[in-house]
Amino acid sequence: MSKFDQQLLKALRNARHLFVLTGAGVSAESGVPTFRDAMSGLWARFRPEDLAAPEAFAANPKRVWEWYAWRRRLCASAKPNPAHYALVEMERHVPRFTLATQNVDDLHRRAGSRSLIELHGNIHRTICSRERKRVEPRPQDRDVPPRCPNCGAPLRPDVVWFGEPLPEAAQQEALAAAADCDVCLSIGTSSAVYPAAALPEIALEAGATVVEINPAETPLSRRARYALRGPAGEILPALTQAAWPPAC
C-alpha cells in the first residue's frame, strides 16, 4: 500500500499538464547550499545586498565575480540527485510537462530534464555587464572580472540579481504554464521570492492541485492541497514510483 494519498496519485496519473517549480532545496542533497536555511544557507553567511545585487557589482565587481566563481566551481562539481532524476522520469509519463527552476546550478539540465525554464539564469553562462550579450567561452584573462572582448566592460554571471527583472520570455512561459496546468508541484523553495513564488498561487487560482514538497513549512503550505514533508531526494522518487509503478 502506498504511503501517498490515492487522490494525489490519481491526480498525477491523470494530469494533462504537470507544472513544477523548484528552488534551492532540490539541489541540497547534491551538496549545493540553499539560501535561507538557518544554519547552512548562504544568506546566513553572506549578505545578499553585498553579492547578489547590481549595486554590489558596481561597488566591488571583483568581490562579486569571485563569489560567483566559487559557487560556479561548487555547482560544477555537484551531481544531480534522485530528486532531479525523478523529475526527468515524471516528464516521460505526462502529456505536457513544464519545469521552472529558480536554481542557476544547471543540475536539472544535466539530469536530462527537457522542458526547462531557468527563471534566474544560469551560473555557468557569462554576459557583458553593459551589452548584456553572452560571451562564450569565458575569457581567461588576468582582469577580475574578465573584460568583454567587444566593448571592454566587466563581464558578469548570467544570473538575476535582486532588483533586476526576470528574463521576459522565461517569465511569460512560466506564467502561461502555471495558469494552464492541472497539477503543480512546488519543490524545495521557501516561497519567499517573487515573482517565482507567485507561480503556484497562479496554479491554485486556476484550480490546479498544488503539492508542496519541503521538509519545512512555507507561506504556501496552508494553501497547498498536499504538503509532503521531507527531503525531495526521498519523496520525489517514491512519489514517481507510486504514481507510475514500473511494469513487472
Active site residues: 120
In the numeric block, which cell numbers belong to residue 167?
A: 528574463
In the numeric block, which cell numbers belong to residue 107?
A: 543540475
Q: Does 37 bind ligand OAD (CB under 6 A)?
A: yes
Q: Does 232 bind ligand OAD (CB under 6 A)?
A: yes
Distance (Å, whole) CA 216 – CA 146: 40
Q: Is residue 66 within 8 Å of 143, Cβ to Cβ?
A: no
Closest separation in Å from C-beta 28 to ligand OAD:
4
Three-state DSSP string of 60-124 = CHHHHHHHHHHHHHHHHHCCCCHHHHHHHHHHHHCCEEEEEECCCCCHHHHHCCCCEEECCEEEE
Q: Does 34 bind ligand OAD (CB under 6 A)?
A: yes
Closest separation in Å from C-beta 68 to ligand OAD:
10
Between 36 and 156, CB nearer to ligand OAD: 36
Interface pick for ligand OAD out of 12, 15, 20, 25 (rule CB under 6 A): 25
Closest separation in Å from C-beta 30 to ligand OAD:
9
Span from 28-36, 55-63, 90-98, 146-154 in contact with ligand OAD (CB under 6 A): 28-36
Whether omega before 137 lies within 30 degrees of 0, making that bond cis, reads yes
Contacts of 1 (CB under 8 A, 6+ apart): none
Binding mask 55-94 for ligand OAD (x = CB under 6 A): ----------------------------------------
Span from 71-79, 89-97, 147-155, 211-219 in contact with ligand OAD (CB under 6 A): 211-219
Contacts of 193 (CB under 8 A, 6+ apart): 102
In the numeric block, which cell numbers belong to residue 104?
A: 542557476
Binding site for ligand OAD (CB under 6 A): 23-25, 28-29, 34-37, 41, 48, 52, 102, 120, 160-162, 188-190, 192-193, 214-216, 218, 231-233
